[in-house]
Amino acid sequence: MSVYPDNLHYTKDHEWIRVEGDTGTVGITHFAQEQLGDVVHVQLPRAGEKFDAHATFGEVESVKTFSELFTPVSGEIVAANDALADTPELVNSEPYGGGWMIKLKLGDPSEVDKLLSASEYEDYLESQKED
């Protein structure tokens, strides 16, 4: 699998979303998991909770640091990845697979159009490399 699959949409906060119908699956990117290092805990919301776009929906903790998680788009949580409670390392090993975090019922599908494509995200990462 590519480091940044073409079928996903990305944010500058390093989340990705995979849209299927009116539902989106959200996780963090390869870059994000690499920066965090070994993930040891993921705090996720419960089904039914509603979020605006770019709202804090949880937190990911690694051995050396932590980071807030932001919704790429608005929506209502329909599922959270319970497997991460016992196997948070999936975020590192399968950031786009078993390491997914939440599934959202999209509040406004047009918000997805404002997100970055895989190549735009890679350009963004490149532009952030200063030294």
Partner 1 sequence: MIDFGGWDMPVQYTAGTIEEHMTVRTRVGLFDVSHMGEIEIRGPQALNLVQHVTTNDASKLADGQAQYSGLTYPEGTFVDDILVHRFADDHYFLCVNASNADKDFAWIASHAGEFDCEASNVSANYSQIAVQGPQALATLQPLTDVSLADIKYYWFTRGHVDGVPALIARTGYTGEDGFEIYFDPHESERIWDKLLAQGQSFNILPCGLAARNTLRLEAKMALYGHEIDDTTTVLEADLAWICKLNKGDFIGRDKLVAQKAAGLTRKLVGFEVLDKGIARDHYPVFIGDEQVGYVTSGSPAPFLKKNIGMAYLPLAHTAVGSQFDIDVRGRRLKAQVVPTPFYKRSK
Q: What is the Cα–Cα distance from 119 to 68, expressed in whole angstroms?
A: 24
Window 22 to 61, contacts with partner 1 (CB under 8 A): 37-38, 40-41, 61
CA torsion sign, 4 to 122 to 103 to 38?
positive
| 64 lines the binding site for partner 1 (CB under 8 A) | yes
Question: Which of 23, 67, 74, 92 is in the footprint of partner 1 by CB under 8 A?
Answer: 92
| 114 lines the binding site for partner 1 (CB under 8 A) | no
> For partner 1, how many residues bind (rule: CB under 8 A)?
9
Which is nearer to partner 1, 34 or 108 (by Cβ)? Answer: 34
Which is nearer to partner 1, 68 or 123 (by Cβ)? Answer: 68
Q: Which residue has the tokens 């079928």?
A: 7
- Joined tokens for residue 99: 């390491």
**E strands along 15-114, which residues?**
15-20, 23-28, 39-43, 50-51, 56-62, 66-70, 75-80, 102-106
Question: Which of 66, 109, 117, 119 is in the footprint of partner 1 by CB under 8 A?
Answer: 66
Residues that bind partner 1 (CB under 8 A): 37-38, 40-41, 61, 63-64, 66, 92
